[in-house]
Amino acid sequence: MMTPMRYVVLVLGIIISLHFILSFSHEEYGRATSISRLSEQFGGSKPHPPYENGVPDDYYVSTPPPSQGRKANATFVLLARNGDLNGVVMSMKQVEDRFNKEFHYPYVFLNEEPFSEEFKDRVQTLTNSKIEFGLIPKEDWVQPEWIDEARATAARKDMVEKKVIYGGSVPYRNMCRFNSGFFYRHELLQKYRYYWRVEPDVNFFCDIHYDPFLLMQDQKKVYGFTVSLYEYPATIPTLWDAVREFINANPDLVESDNAMRFISDDGGETYNNCHFWSNFEIGDLDLWRGEAYSKFFDFLDEKGGFYYERWGDAPVHSIGAALFAKKEQIHFFNDIGYRHNPFQHCPQGELHKKGKCWCNPQENFDYEWYSCLKRYDNLFA
């Protein structure tokens, strides 16, 4: 039989155990029963500025639950380095405030090096959505061994002398090649159908109260853009030669009702240098995964132009979309205000009001002389 003292010890043990369990599992209980809190209550709190008391909970508006409607199988994709953190935070905060706090789509971050804990902590602070961090396989990022380095070095030197932007950069070329032909192959993206590419240091000017992913899905769109412009010819001197060679060898892969008139003024004889600015893309990953684009990218890659010249992912994606999709499947997101220095799309008129846009409507690149939007419009004239 147990003595009364043993009962007392047993009860105290149970109480202490419950205290520790509740302290770890219930944050508010842990704070309320902490030694520092108890000492304040019984011994008086130390003098402190009023703001340290915080704002009482009853002043806060309850957070609305995630949208319970239909959702597409989609994700945001951000290619970034640890050093891009401040720019990433700026872009991501705007994505959340303008759109994703209502729709709660996940994020995939990709980097050729492991993300730091600081990077992970700061971006996870910005959203309640799922975030995955992926490491890019080395073979998908670095310059291939079969590239003639002497030839590539000479090409970079020549571009530097001609003051071509990023002309001397190998990492920039790695990025262009990765975005052109490898990002959609990453293991973290295999489960998704649609993606929205976001870059550091960009602005989203307008509220978006509809789901662009569902628009793409329901209307069978495969590629969406906000800004279109001309590429620097000095970066792609032989790109169109390679494109024509591929078309001639694979005419069956080219979509009959395509957008060739966006990229060529003479039926494909020459390239007019127009492209969709790919730092903003909302797209169907199956476009890039398909037979036509897969063969197209592999063909271009074997030419070595990403390193012997400075082929960008913008013209490569744009040409691919123009050739392998129907023109109606390429969508201009006229209502999404967006800026990537030095160009911006600012919605006009009623769209500006509807989106509560904060960009200046007079600062709009759509029909400036260097824009290609008129050529896109003419596809449907």
pLDDT tens, per residue, the chain with 381 residues: 456 666 655 666 666 666 656 555 565 555 555 555 555 555 556 787 877 787 788 777 676 665 568 999 999 999 999 999 999 999 999 999 999 999 999 999 999 999 999 999 999 999 999 999 999 999 999 999 999 999 999 999 999 999 999 999 999 999 999 999 999 999 999 999 999 999 999 999 999 999 999 999 999 999 999 999 999 999 999 999 999 999 999 999 999 999 999 999 999 999 999 999 999 999 999 999 999 999 999 999 999 999 999 999 999 999 999 999 999 999 999 999 999 999 999 999 999 999 999 999 999 999 999 999 999 999 999
Catalytic residues: 281
State how far the Cα of 224 lies from the Cα of 298, in Å rounded to an integer.
Answer: 23
pLDDT of amino acid 54: 79
pLDDT of amino acid 58: 76
- Of 364, 89, 70, the C-alpha closest to 210 is 70
Q: Give just the sign of the alpha carbon dihedral 206, 211, 212, 213.
A: positive
pLDDT of amino acid 278: 97
Structure tokens at 105: 């789509």
State how far the Cα of 240 lies from the Cα of 238, in Å rounded to an integer.
Answer: 6
For the chain, how far is it from start to end, CA to CA, in angstroms? 97
Q: Look-up: residue for tokens 């003479």?
A: 266
Confidence (pTM): 0.85
Q: Residue 247, CB half-sphere, CA atoms under 13 Å: how many?
A: 20
pLDDT of amino acid 52: 77
State how far the Cα of 146 lies from the Cα of 338, in Å rounded to an integer.
Answer: 39
